[in-house]
Amino acid sequence: MTSFTTAVTGLIKGKVQGVCFRNEAQKKARNFNLTGWARNTDDGDMEVLVVGNKLAVEFMKVWLAKGPSAAIVEKVEFVNCEDPGLEDFEVRD
């Protein structure tokens, strides 16, 4: 991982399932040239892994704190992590 690359995992809580959040996150991440994934949790939250340019990751974190228009984000938590070396941003089940 270069000094200009960062990786974070995140948990997004609120009304975040059934509102196309994962697909919109994928589009946004690809626009920012980020890799990682988004997946729903069994308890109604959404988990993400976001990897890329530090500034782009920060922009993605800001977007995730708001989400698509149908979402109601109540809380977000991000933690730095290692870059797993993914080549794309995936929507996972």
- In sequence order, which ranges of the chain are alpha helices (DSSP H)? 21-31, 54-64
Inform me whether the pLDDT recorded for 76 exceeds 90. Answer: yes
Write the pLDDT tens digit of every residue in 35-58. Answer: 999 999 999 999 999 999 999 999
Q: Which of 91, 92, 79 is nearest to 25 (CA)?
A: 91
Catalytic residues: 22, 40
Cβ 21 vs Cβ 38: under 8 Å? yes
pTM: 0.93
Inform me whether the pLDDT recorded for 2 exceeds 70. Answer: no
Q: Residue 44: its pLDDT value, please?
A: 97
Sequence letter at residue 83: D
**Domains by residue range for the chain, with CATH:** 5-81 (3.30.70.100)
What are the tokens at 18? Answer: 């059934």
Inform me whether the pLDDT recorded for 19 exceeds 50. Answer: yes
